[in-house]
């Protein structure tokens, strides 16, 4: 076979007129020099255009490359790669005759010249304006809240107010209100940019910096890792160049230092605004914000929202309406509990079921003290009415992800199948369809929110108050240990690995080393261990010894070079996920893992 290509090359040349053939033969070196010169010119042109494009994308912010420029750059990179292949063939004398080599480089030279002639005209600009201020956020219907919405809007328009703190208890509607205002700001175009960042309970400076940089479309110049101070300096400069902007920090649990993050101090002079949403009035005051409280809905607003969610057929039932109004009253004016309870009762037409639901809600709330505990009990009402234990397991599994995490639906259903929450069926498609049906049930009950992820995929998200409810359940039965996305640098202490734990989630942390001193001693019931997205470099041999029931192990995106041989002793292991483990060089013998159904090394 090694002679086939040279022979074909000679056959190609035989179709060339004799004088041209002789020219290719005699002046091969000239053709090669011309080829290299053209390739170097094209390479320089590409680098010049990339540099100018980079400069245009930074000043002003919000620019995006012109489509033609993107297409040209992509095609040129492929052309230069092809030219390198040609050069290698010629230098290795892949063709037996000089004329064939001459023809090859001459044709490629002509192709490169066409690219050079059709290069984008830098004087006309290489970038164009992107979406001017940002993209609208998906949001749910807003009932009531007119007064507080108008108050926030007035503060955004007034020059003398630069920082606004929107506070209220969990589930009262702070985020929904601000999403509507965010979208209104985009329509009004009063600011050059509107930036939305979710903070969450565990404040992570680098994540906040990354989110703001992403909103500003900083790519190549943004350091993904490294010194927080340097990143803050870069971000500060970029935000100053962004012109008048509104930065909305949603779900803030503790005071945030704008200096540490790299946020310029908002003022009337620079026309920038900072808005925080939080459950704490103290956070608003500490950050020097104009304080605005979001109060529960009025009785009339509550009833309108509940009836919208529960459906028209129930509204028309005179025997249910008196009890329904009492159920609504137990929701305490919180939009989240209203939609969750309404989603649970949708389709229930028996007055006796409504009376039982009223008694259940009253009993639950009567057993606890404190506003937050009452909210959790109202949400548990919906969880308990799921009835199907497998559906409950599917819901609780979502709490294994970090707070405010956007969960890809396909990935989630794959996990449910691995956990055997979905019964074995004739085909994989049937199991996936069952997973989608369960998701729809949880979405209809308003326990999960249907979203489109930042990557454009179909996903779901848990409201933080709903996740708090799920966590309160998993502290009791079934027992989970969930410390996902908490910036941990080492495993939890031995004492936290209790013998009755069934699932452990330590995903999205900074655990690089598993110390022998903190190894769990007895995890006889542990079935699931999620360690993905941790820079773990080495796992001790004894780590898995006390996990005889482990069936699902996820070590994706770890830095490990090998796995301990003890993994071969996990007789019940059905799923082993090692995606994006780029350092992995060696695997122990897995032949003893008789139950293993899924091994992912992609």
Quick check: 123 pLDDT over 50? yes
Kindly state the average pLDDT of the residues 227-253. 89
d(CA 41, CA 69): 18
Nearest-CA neighbor of 442 among 398, 505, 479?
398
pTM for this prediction:
0.74
Nearest-CA neighbor of 477 among 403, 364, 383, 341?
383
Kindly state the average pLDDT of the residues 188-215. 87
205-219, 403-417, 502-516, 553-567: least confident range: 205-219
Most confident of 100-104, 194-198, 356-360: 356-360
Q: Could you tell me the pLDDT band of residue 64, with boundaries at 50, 70 and 90?
A: low
End-to-end CA distance of the chain: 33
Q: How many helices (H) and strands (E) are present in the chain, helices listed first?
A: 21, 16
The residue ranking higher by pLDDT, 172 or 92, is 172
pLDDT for 187 equals 87
Sequence-separated (6 or more) residues with CB below 8 Å from residue 376: 368, 465, 468, 469, 472
d(CA 77, CA 148): 54
Nearest-CA neighbor of 232 among 212, 248, 252?
212
- Site of tokens 């950050």: 287
pLDDT for 71 equals 87
d(CA 442, CA 399): 13
- Pairing of the two strands 458-461 and 407-408: antiparallel
pLDDT in tens, 475-487: 988 899 999 999 9
Sequence-ordered alpha helix ranges (H) in 216-275:
228-241, 258-261
């Amino acid at each position: 076979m090694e002679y086939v290509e040279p022979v074909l090359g000679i056959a190609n040349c035989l179709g060339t007129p004799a004088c041209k053939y002789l020219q290719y033969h005699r002046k091969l070196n000239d053709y090669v020099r011309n080829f290299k010169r053209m390739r170097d010119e094209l390479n320089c042109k590409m680098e010049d255009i990339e540099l100018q494009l980079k400069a245009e994308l930074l000043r002003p912010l919000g620019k995006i490359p012109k489509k033609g420029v993107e297409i040209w750059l992509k095609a040129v990179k492929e052309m230069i790669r092809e030219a390198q292949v040609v050069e290698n063939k010629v230098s290795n004398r892949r063709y037996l005759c000089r004329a064939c080599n001459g023809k090859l480089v001459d044709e490629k030279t002509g192709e490169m010249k066409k690219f050079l002639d059709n290069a984008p005209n830098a004087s006309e600009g290489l970038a164009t304006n992107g979406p001017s201020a940002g993209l609208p956020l998906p949001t749910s219907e807003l009932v009531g809240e007119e007064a507080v919405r108008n108050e926030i809007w007035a503060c955004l328009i007034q020059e003398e107010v630069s920082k606004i703190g929107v506070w209220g208890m969990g589930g009262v509607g702070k985020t929904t209100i601000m999403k509507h205002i965010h979208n209104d700001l985009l329509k009004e175009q009063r600011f050059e940019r509107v930036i939305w960042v979710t903070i969450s309970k565990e404040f992570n400076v680098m994540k906040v910096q990354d989110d703001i940089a992403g909103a500003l479309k900083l790519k190549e110049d943004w350091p993904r890792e490294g010194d927080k101070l340097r990143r803050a300096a870069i971000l500060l400069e970029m935000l100053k160049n962004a012109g008048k902007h509104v930065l909305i920090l949603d779900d803030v649990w503790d005071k945030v230092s704008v200096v540490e993050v790299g946020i310029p101090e908002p003022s009337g002079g620079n026309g920038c605004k900072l808005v925080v949403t939080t459950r704490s009035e103290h956070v608003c005051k500490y950050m020097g914000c104009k304080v605005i409280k979001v109060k529960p809905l009025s009785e009339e607003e509550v009833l309108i929202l509940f009836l919208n969610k529960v459906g028209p057929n129930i509204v028309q039932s005179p025997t249910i309406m008196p009890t329904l109004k009492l159920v609504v009253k137990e929701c305490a004016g919180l939009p989240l509990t209203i939609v969750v309870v309404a989603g649970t009762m949708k389709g229930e037409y028996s007055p006796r079921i409504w009376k039982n639901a009223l008694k259940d809600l009253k009993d639950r709330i009567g057993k606890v003290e404190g506003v937050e505990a009452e909210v959790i009990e109202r949400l548990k009402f919906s969880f308990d009415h799921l009835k199907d234990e497998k559906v409950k397991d599917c819901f609780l599994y979502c709490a294994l992800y970090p707070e405010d995490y956007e969960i890809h639906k396909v990935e989630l259903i794959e996990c449910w199948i691995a956990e055997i929450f979905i019964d074995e069926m004739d085909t994989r498609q049937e199991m996936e369809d069952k997973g989608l049906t369960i998701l729809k049930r949880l979405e209809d009950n308003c326990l999960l929110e249907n979203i489109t992820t930042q990557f454009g995929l179909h996903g779901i998200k848990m409201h933080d108050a709903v996740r708090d409810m799920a966590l309160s359940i998993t502290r009791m039965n079934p027992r989970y240990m969930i410390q996902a996305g908490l910036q941990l640098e080492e495993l939890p202490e031995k004492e936290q690995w209790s013998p009755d734990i069934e699932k452990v989630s330590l995903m999205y942390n900074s655990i690089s080393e598993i110390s022998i001193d903190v190894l769990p001693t007895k995890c006889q019931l542990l079935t699931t261990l999620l360690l993905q997205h941790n820079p773990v470099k080495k796992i001790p041999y004894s780590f898995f010894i006390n996990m005889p029931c482990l069936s699902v192990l996820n070590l994706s995106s770890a830095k490990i070079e090998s796995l301990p041989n003890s993994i071969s002793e996990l007789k019940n292991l059905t799923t082993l996920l090692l995606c994006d483990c780029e350092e992995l060089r060696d695997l122990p013998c897995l032949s003893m893992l008789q139950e293993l159904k899924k091994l992912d090394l992609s």
